[in-house]
Chain A
Amino acid sequence: MSQQQSTPPPKPTPIPQQDNEFYWEKAKAHELWLRKCSDCNEVYFYPRDISPCCFSRNTEWIKASGKGTLYTWGITVRPPTPAFREDAPFVLAIVDLEEGCRIPTNLVGIPKDPDPEKMAAHITHGMAVEVAFEDRTDAISVPVFKPVDS
């Protein structure tokens, strides 16, 4: 049992597909890139070859500033799977990016406490955040966000 407790199983990692392998390649290099519809200039997430706004194939990749604000968040106390056992409690977040789209992520850099209300005292809706990257495997790094001043 103690052995089973020692190392949590790996967290889920994306399996890059043709429509997002560029996204994950750039994330590996610690850059956040987004897809933009060239017909109407809307920047959207998640990446798709054909834009959800105009259903257009006329799309391009742009490099994001990495800045945004916290749309909403929650603190997972009970880990959803054993992979997140050692992370809990941790902050789930949805960030409004400066470019105008919304991205699911984690808010990092918040002092960890078994009482989520104490963690919550450090977090506000609308707070300024910026991208950072967590290396998960040799091939995958995921964009996470941290408070701008931390």
Chain B
Amino acid sequence: MAELKNAAAIVGAALSDEMGKVPHKSSMQHHAEAAHNALKDAGLTKDDVDAVFTAGPGTLQLAEYLGIHPRFTDSTSVGGSSFVIHIGHAVSAIANGLIDVALVTHGQAGQSSRGRAGGDPTAMGTQYESPYGFIGAPQNYALAGNRYMHEFGQERTRDAWAEIAMSTRKWAQLNPRAYQRGDMTREDYDASRWITYPFHLFDCCVVTDAGGAFVITSLDRARDLPKKPVKVLGFGEGHDHGIISQMPSVTSLIARETHKQAFDMAGITHDDLDLRMIYDSFTYTVLLTLEDLGFCGKGEGPDFIKSKTLGPGGDFAMNTSGGGLSYTHSGMYGMFLVVEAVTQLRGEAGDRQLDVCNTALVHGTGGSLSSGGTTLLGID
């Protein structure tokens, strides 16, 4: 097998022009704007792109809209983690000489298209879960979070969720593009309305319209491009169910497996990380992911979080964009994890820039806690 570590690098990353509440733009416009901005950032043109990756609407629709005739196409769509997973796929193809420049895009009018979606009436979720009101992520994730509270203690879990929500908001306050930037106290968290018990509103991500894109090429070619290459050090992916009632244990994520391959490939450990971008559809998603990625043991997450300072100036930099909880969440949020990691690694994060950021972990979770993708990124 070709050597995958350091075979390729992210050479461009960008967002769509407008994010938040953008009712006048379609999902595909967000894709196109982000792609345009990312290629410009990379110092490349559309004609350099020979491989396209996206999730949600497939690459057929995307590449047509962008005017690209790719020779490599990948519509892997396993929820919001997909774009994190695309990185490994692109690196594998680059390392084997199949492609030269990969474009990964995301765009979703998540807020403005709410309620428009129709599902396959014969899909398993539609047949067995929807009749009971298992519709949408808050329902599914709340069921899982409640079991965690039962197994590991209600109060300490609540404290951890509140801390995650509050510290993520503090980061958002440093990000001019964040959707929610108001102060959040513990009282505000506790008083925020119930969505699905045990989730308060502030346990749940925002819902926005947004797009993002990034460009990957070989490390050799990357060295000739304007921006400092963000090297892909390692990656892993997997899933262990589709619908929530089929999850083997609702307190254990596939992250328990995906991080091992990523760290092995990269030859680094948790202690080498300067930044962790952890998918935060809900506060519970973060708590569970930290445990399953091996930052602490199962059930130890609340104590681990208590022992760290997650917000700006702290000793455990995480979700520095303000996350899905406060910054942006279009529905398939994983793209924004990658864009923020690249921004931090290049030292372009403005007020929220970390003093030292050479190595970052990105972990996406998709579906109903179903899929996971871990990617490790680094800069010289």
A interface residues, Cβ below 8 angstroms from B: 11-15, 17, 20, 45-46, 71-81, 84, 87, 89-90, 92-94, 102-106, 116-117, 119-120, 125, 136, 140, 142, 144
Contact = CB atoms under 8 A, between A and B. Distances in A.
A102 B245 contact: yes
B212 to A, nearest CB: 27
Contacts of A116: 194, 197
B126 interface: yes
B343 interface: no
B147 A72 contact: yes
B131 A12 contact: yes
A144 B128 CA distance: 12
A46 B147 CA distance: 21
Contact of A72 (B135, B138, B150): B150
B133 A20 contact: no
**Most chain A CB within a 10 A radius of its CB, from B138, B143, B145:** B143
Given A46-B127, A104-B244, A106-B133, 5 more contacts: A12-B130, A14-B127, A17-B122, A103-B128, A105-B132
Contacts of A140: 131
Interface string B244-274: 1110001000000000000000000000000
Contact of B133 (A92, A120, A136): A92
Nearest to B148: A72
Nearest to A140: B131
A120 to B, nearest CB: 6
B182 interface: no
B174 to A, nearest CB: 30
Given A92-B134, A104-B245, A14 B126 contact: yes
Contacts of A73: 143, 146
B131 A87 contact: no
A106 B143 CA distance: 12
Contact of A13 (B131, B136, B196, B198): B131
18 contacts: A11-B133, A12-B135, A13-B131, A45-B128, A46-B128, A71-B250, A74-B197, A74-B199, A75-B197, A76-B133, A78-B195, A79-B133, A87-B133, A89-B194, A92-B132, A102-B246, A104-B134, A125-B150
Contacts of B147: 71-72, 125
Given A102-B245, A103-B245, A14 B197 contact: no
B129 interface: yes
Interface string B138-160: 11001111110010000000000
Given A12-B130, A104-B132, A80 B139 contact: yes
Interface of B: 115, 121-122, 124, 126-136, 138-139, 142-147, 150, 193-199, 243-246, 250
B126 A76 contact: no
Nearest to A15: B121
Contacts of B131: 11-14, 136, 140, 142
A-B pairs, 3 with minimum CB distance: A104-B245, A72-B147, A116-B197
A72 B143 contact: yes
Nearest to B125: A104
A103 B145 CA distance: 18
B127 A142 contact: no
A84 B139 CA distance: 13
Nearest to B130: A12
A76 B139 contact: yes
A64 B127 CA distance: 19
Nearest to A116: B197
Contacts of B143: 72-74, 92-94
A75 B250 CA distance: 17
A77 B250 contact: no
A45 B138 CA distance: 23
Contacts of B198: 74, 120
B150 A75 contact: no
B135 A81 contact: yes
Contacts of B122: 15, 17
Nearest to A16: B127
A72 B144 contact: yes
Contacts of B150: 72, 125
Contacts of B250: 71-72, 94
**Most chain A CB within a 10 A radius of its CB, from B126, B139, B199:** B139
Nearest to A46: B128
Contacts of A125: 146-147, 150
Nearest to B124: A46
**Most chain A CB within a 10 A radius of its CB, from B121, B135, B250:** B135
Nearest to B115: A81
Contacts of A14: 121, 126-128, 131
